[in-house]
């Protein structure tokens, strides 16, 4: 399992969430990140999900 990072921001740059979570691979992490954002009603907020190597898996400006 690898550790991925999910971050979401308000328009003023304030962090709403800054969470680490575990996933088997990048695709599973992308799906899990989208699920977490949907559960917290943050899909329309600025967000990103990054892999342990720094690869950007999800991004919404």
Domain ranges, residue 50: 2-60
Per the confidence metrics, is the pTM higher than 0.75?
yes
Rounded CA-CA distance 42/55 in Å is: 21
Rounded CA-CA distance 31/37 in Å is: 10
Number of domains in the chain: 1
pLDDT tens column, 6-60: 999 999 999 999 999 999 999 999 999 999 999 999 999 999 999 999 999 999 9
| Assigned token pair, 22 | 């575990």
């Amino acid at each position: 399992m690898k550790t991925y990072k999910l971050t979401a921001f308000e328009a003023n740059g304030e962090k709403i969430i800054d969470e680490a979570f575990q996933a088997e691979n990048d695709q599973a992490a992308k799906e899990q990140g989208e699920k977490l954002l949907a559960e917290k009603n943050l899909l329309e907020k600025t967000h990103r999900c990054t892999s342990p190597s720094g690869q950007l898996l999800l991004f919404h400006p």
